[in-house]
Chain A
Amino acid sequence: MSAPDDVSLTRPQFVGATVVRREDPRLLTGAGNYVADIKRHGMLHIAFRRSDHAHALIRGIDAAAALAMPGVTAVYTGADMARLAHPYRATSRMKNYQATFIPPLAVDKVRYVGEAVVAVVADSRYAAEDALALIDIDYAALPVLVDPEQALKGDAPKIHDDLDSNILAEREFSRGEVDDAFAAAAQTAGGRFHFTRTTPVTIEARASVAEYDKGARSLTLHCTTQIPGIVRDKLSEIFDLPGPRIRVIAPDVGGGFGGKTSLYSEEIVACAIARDLGRPIKWVSDRMEDLMTTGNAFDEIVDAEIAVDNDGKILAVKADVIGDVGAYSIYPWTATIEPVQVVSFLPGPYRIANYAARVRAVATNKTLTGAYRGVGRPISVFVMDRLLDMAARKIGMDPAEIRRRNLVNDDEFPYKAASGLVWDKSAFQACLAVAAENIGYDELRREQAAARAEGRWAGIGIASYAELTGVGSRIAVAPGMPINTGTETCNVAIDSTGAVTASFGLTSQGQGMETTLAQVVAQELGVKVEDVDIVLGDTASVSHGTGTYASRGAVFGGGAGILAAQAVHEKIVKVAGHLLEAAEEDIETGDGNVRVRGTDRAMTIRDLARALYSDMGRVPKEMRDEIDNLEATKVYDPFFGTTTSASHVCLVEVDPETYKVAVKRYIVVEDCGRVINPLIADGQAHGGVAQGIGVALMEEVVHDATGQILTASLVDYVVPSAVEIPSIDVVHVEAELPGTVGGFRGLGEGGTIGAPACIANAISDALSPLGIEIMEIPATPERIYRLVEAARNG
């Protein structure tokens, strides 16, 4: 048992260290493995004929000419899918909710432009697309509903004949005496806010490769998904196959942002055809399909008002939300996820005693809405922080000051917000204070005054928000949802070669979790970061897991990883105590080695694994029976989860000739708990803010009155480029750590949550001499021009 001379036992702090990403070398050299890169022997390709009607009956489909085309193997319609796949819908225990069946291919009726109607299977995508043009579909047009306020009326045509109305969900919140508070208020402010529809635009569009093994009767789906576990579980029901015979794999995935957190029709169709034909089936979305079919975001009208006293204290808030959720209630999140979160989170990080809100989720003939980075909270912050600025302007108070007076203070946690959410302790006030200090708020105001004196439209915006992250089993991510999003599983295993593998039900779409989770596990085990292999996005690796969404990866993955690594560490210590003839409490690990503390008696963990697994006789049978192996599976449930908070401050300038908004300065100060890797944490904030700036200034899905999408290319749906996004300062306030295992809070969505409100407040501030309030975003040059013209013509 002699120790090698070079046994090192340094135990560096990997958590908190800037570690460059292990994902990068393969992604930088074109050696990544995205779904579109997958090729299989005998693989066939699908192209979809999609509806060009927003609402119509299908009277007949003639695909004979398509089927006769060279290279075409088969054609499938909704009737075929009814034979191959059980129907499904997104159920919920929430009161006043109506689920819709979602046919993988339309049956009898189409309900939005872009809905898949026919799938053509051919030996190349080119051949499949050639055949699409030869399919003849006989439609009978129905009245089209694009305005949710029309769609919710009792006499509106129904989009789903089996439902009571187009209102898929309705919910009300009430706390305190709102009417009395408004009656007693010194000032009120408010109006109609409109947060238009956007779409995620991952640069990798969605894709699937499905394979069916006839001998094993098993299905493998490689898919661009954030939720392989949820997809696997539902496919098991849809195809009547036990879980172990369905494997869903998310390999390298090119961005998600929530757009890949839903089960999509194309995934079901690919699996059904692969099973039916016994051939590998590939579908890769083109950009037009992506813009027409990937779950859209937001699209809410909010009538909201705030009541304040002369000291700026919020007395009451009321809001009435209409969410345009599109044609179906998306699986698994349901049509409730976006609009209900708007009212749940609207009170934000502020002390509000009296709150009343109503929300209605209304079906229209548009693409389904689903989860998009921030889900509901970008608009709840937009409305709440706009209301605060409008109120502050009326009482002549600085926007920073009115926030200081209303943000929940450190000594008030846990704080039950007016909607019933409970905020875990988080640095609400400190984030604002540090943001103001770091950006030089007072100096910025002086610069603004100087700019105004020169006739320039410069404005400062602030937004403060809080979000629940790492939400555990106590709270469903979407109300009443029948799936469990409150736990995650990690298996840590040291095998007979001494190699360490940590497997998770999570996925990574760019968050660098192969690196950050390796940091966490390595630190807990006492091995080198590079010696921990991380397995993500494969349903074969753990028995239950849902995926990566809702700012949960670090909290759940970090927590489960720590628990599993600790359990394996205990086993290592037990075996090492025997092999090194020492008491367990004297054993320490580090750098992949074990040692008796204060001595030179040491060995490598690799040798320890060999002793346990292979060199029979070195570890007694009783001990082997007790510990079995160097492996542990742990499930982490953060129960309530925790709270992440932040303040954003920005400076914008509106060009008085082009009406274009330039973002000049931007700072994010956030309390995301213990930072695992500052490089990655900052990157998440940068990207989130960039998307939020896109939402605030540029991005909008536009439909015409017939339900046609006018923004079905990236020429028309404009996302920010390098010239529109400024450098963003990010500061992490590691205040008191939360009670989550590891002390992590989630941070993936924050940038997108805060930025739209921050930018809208800055534009309103810039245009305040004209009395303009930004009530609708994106604040495009055209919208700003119209507001300025209206103000001038007064």
Chain B
Amino acid sequence: MTAKIPISVTVNGTAHTAEVEPRLLLADFLRENLDLTGTHVGCEHGICGACTILMNGDSVRSCLTLAVQADGASVETVESLGGIDDLSPLQQAFQEHHALQCGFCTPGMLMTATDMLRKYDLATDEDIRDGLSGNICRCTGYQNIVAAVRAAAGRRDAG
């Protein structure tokens, strides 16, 4: 077994140091080492998007990222959004529009949408669908997710 490598990662504002095998996936580091099980693993090959997190402000697949690649980085996961009794506007929009059913893809959807809402105008539903096209949802048929992101964009733009 290859020697473990020390890393320092800030996750949801908290600094963590650890010694990890170089092959350890960031998704497994978050879920197993830090007990942040909100990040879900759906395919382990970068297609489904359930494991999407933000690293230094960009959405990335935590199943295609090694924990050692996150050394020195700032990571945001679904646990950084609103809490169970104080949902963020995006989470509220998901609830109001029934944008989740089984909830397994939802953390990845929320993190992708967070990235989109920070960076893009999202002027049309096509823009939203394009932005979400790397995240698979098998339950909703997407239209309520599109509606929720549209509502969140509206709230964002209303300031």
**B-binding residues in A (CB < 8 A):** 20-21, 23-32, 34, 36-37, 39, 70, 126, 201-205, 252-257, 286-287, 509-512, 679-680, 682-683, 686-691, 713-715, 719, 721-723, 725-728, 751
Interface pair A37/B44, CB less than 8 Å apart: no
Is B117 among interface residues, defined by CB-CB distance under 8 A?
no
- Most A CB contacts (10 A, CB to CB) among B50, B107, B142 go to B142
- Name the CB-closest residue of A to B104: A254
- Chain B residues 137-158 with CB under 8 Å of chain A are 137-146
Known: A25-B87, A203-B48, A203-B136. 16 other contacts (CB 8 A): A29-B78, A30-B36, A30-B39, A30-B107, A36-B40, A37-B31, A126-B23, A203-B40, A683-B101, A683-B140, A687-B101, A690-B140, A719-B136, A723-B129, A725-B141, A726-B143
CA distance A683 to B96 in the complex (A): 12
CA distance A16 to B68 in the complex (A): 52
CA distance A234 to B4 in the complex (A): 45
Q: Mark B119-140, 1 if CB is under 8 A from A, else 0.
A: 0000000001110111111111
Interface pair B81/A29, CB less than 8 Å apart: yes
Q: Shortest distance in angstroms between A24's beta carbon and chain B's nearest beta carbon?
A: 4
CA distance A714 to B94 in the complex (A): 26
Is B59 among interface residues, defined by CB-CB distance under 8 A?
no
Is B91 among interface residues, defined by CB-CB distance under 8 A?
yes
Interface pair B40/A510, CB less than 8 Å apart: no
Q: Which residues of B contact A257 (CB under 8 A)?
A: 138
Q: Shortest distance in angstroms between A714's beta carbon and chain B's nearest beta carbon?
A: 4
Q: Shortest distance in angstroms between A293's beta carbon and chain B's nearest beta carbon?
A: 15
Q: Which residues of B contact A690 (CB under 8 A)?
A: 138, 140-142
Is B52 among interface residues, defined by CB-CB distance under 8 A?
no
Interface pair B95/A20, CB less than 8 Å apart: yes
Interface pair B44/A23, CB less than 8 Å apart: no
- Name the CB-closest residue of A to B92: A28
- Chain B residues 1-54 with CB under 8 Å of chain A are 1, 21, 23-24, 31, 35-45, 47-48, 50
22 example contacts (A-B, Cβ-Cβ < 8 A) are as follows A24-B95, A28-B78, A28-B94, A29-B83, A32-B38, A36-B37, A36-B40, A126-B21, A203-B50, A203-B105, A252-B103, A255-B139, A287-B42, A287-B48, A511-B101, A687-B138, A689-B141, A690-B142, A715-B45, A722-B132, A723-B130, A726-B143
Interface pair A25/B84, CB less than 8 Å apart: yes
Interface pair B45/A713, CB less than 8 Å apart: yes
Which secondary structure dominates where chain B touches chain A?
loop
Is B114 among interface residues, defined by CB-CB distance under 8 A?
no
B104: contacting residue among A203, A679, A687, A691, CB under 8 A: A203
Q: Which residues of A contact B50 (CB under 8 A)?
A: 203
B91: contacting residue among A28, A254, A686, A715, CB under 8 A: A28
- Most A CB contacts (10 A, CB to CB) among B21, B134, B138 go to B138
Interface pair A28/B110, CB less than 8 Å apart: yes
A721: contacting residue among B39, B134, B144, CB under 8 A: B134
Interface pair B141/A28, CB less than 8 Å apart: no
Interface pair A686/B136, CB less than 8 Å apart: no
- Chain B residues 52-77 with CB under 8 Å of chain A are 77
Interface pair B140/A286, CB less than 8 Å apart: no
Q: Which residues of A contact B44 (CB under 8 A)?
A: 286-287
Q: Shortest distance in angstroms between A243's beta carbon and chain B's nearest beta carbon?
A: 28
CA distance A530 to B131 in the complex (A): 35
Interface pair B95/A36, CB less than 8 Å apart: no
Interface pair A20/B96, CB less than 8 Å apart: yes
- Name the CB-closest residue of A to B149: A722
CA distance A511 to B140 in the complex (A): 10
- Most A CB contacts (10 A, CB to CB) among B21, B50, B143 go to B143
Q: Which residues of B contact A689 (CB under 8 A)?
A: 141
Q: Shortest distance in angstroms between B100's beta carbon and chain A's nearest beta carbon?
A: 6
Q: Which residues of A contact B103 (CB under 8 A)?
A: 23-24, 27-28, 32, 252, 254, 510
Q: Shortest distance in angstroms between B73's beta carbon and chain A's nearest beta carbon?
A: 19
A725-B41 CB under 8 A given contacts A23-B103, A27-B100, A28-B91: no
Interface pair A686/B95, CB less than 8 Å apart: no
Q: Which residues of A contact B95 (CB under 8 A)?
A: 20-21, 24-25, 28
B79: contacting residue among A30, A203, A511, A728, CB under 8 A: A30
Interface pair A204/B48, CB less than 8 Å apart: no
A21-B98 CB under 8 A given contacts A723-B130, A728-B143: yes
Q: Which residues of A contact B135 (CB under 8 A)?
A: 721-722
Interface pair B84/A722, CB less than 8 Å apart: no
Q: Shortest distance in angstroms between B103's beta carbon and chain A's nearest beta carbon?
A: 3
Q: Which residues of A contact B78 (CB under 8 A)?
A: 28-30
Interface pair B40/A29, CB less than 8 Å apart: no
Q: Shortest distance in angstroms between A312's beta carbon and chain B's nearest beta carbon?
A: 33
B38: contacting residue among A29, A727, A728, CB under 8 A: A29
Q: Shortest distance in angstroms between A158's beta carbon and chain B's nearest beta carbon?
A: 36
A254: contacting residue among B38, B40, B82, B96, CB under 8 A: B40
A714-B101 CB under 8 A given contacts A28-B110, A30-B39, A30-B79: no
Interface pair A202/B104, CB less than 8 Å apart: yes
Interface pair A714/B102, CB less than 8 Å apart: no
Interface pair A686/B144, CB less than 8 Å apart: yes
Q: Shortest distance in angstroms between B83's beta carbon and chain A's nearest beta carbon?
A: 6
CA distance A252 to B37 in the complex (A): 13
CA distance A682 to B140 in the complex (A): 9
Interface pair B102/A204, CB less than 8 Å apart: yes
CA distance A257 to B23 in the complex (A): 34
CA distance A614 to B53 in the complex (A): 51
Interface pair A202/B138, CB less than 8 Å apart: yes
Q: Which residues of A contact B146 (CB under 8 A)?
A: 722, 727
CA distance A204 to B102 in the complex (A): 9
Q: Shortest distance in angstroms between A723's beta carbon and chain B's nearest beta carbon?
A: 5
Interface pair A204/B141, CB less than 8 Å apart: no
CA distance A368 to B136 in the complex (A): 25
- Name the CB-closest residue of A to B134: A721
Q: Which residues of B contact A286 (CB under 8 A)?
A: 44
- Name the CB-closest residue of B to A694: B138
A254-B84 CB under 8 A given contacts A722-B145, A725-B142: no
Q: Which residues of A contact B134 (CB under 8 A)?
A: 721
CA distance A512 to B100 in the complex (A): 10
CA distance A688 to B139 in the complex (A): 8
Q: Which residues of B contact A30 (CB under 8 A)?
A: 36-39, 77-79, 107
Interface pair A691/B138, CB less than 8 Å apart: yes
- Name the CB-closest residue of A to B21: A126
CA distance A24 to B96 in the complex (A): 10
Q: Which residues of B contact A255 (CB under 8 A)?
A: 101-102, 104, 138-139
Q: Shortest distance in angstroms between A402's beta carbon and chain B's nearest beta carbon?
A: 29
CA distance A29 to B82 in the complex (A): 7
CA distance A719 to B141 in the complex (A): 11
- Most B CB contacts (10 A, CB to CB) among A30, A255, A679 go to A30
Q: Shortest distance in angstroms between B38's beta carbon and chain A's nearest beta carbon?
A: 2
Interface pair A510/B101, CB less than 8 Å apart: yes
CA distance A578 to B106 in the complex (A): 50
Interface pair B38/A203, CB less than 8 Å apart: no
A29: contacting residue among B87, B102, B142, CB under 8 A: B87
- Most A CB contacts (10 A, CB to CB) among B31, B140, B145 go to B140
Interface pair B104/A204, CB less than 8 Å apart: yes
CA distance A689 to B139 in the complex (A): 10
Q: Which residues of B contact A20 (CB under 8 A)?
A: 95-96, 98
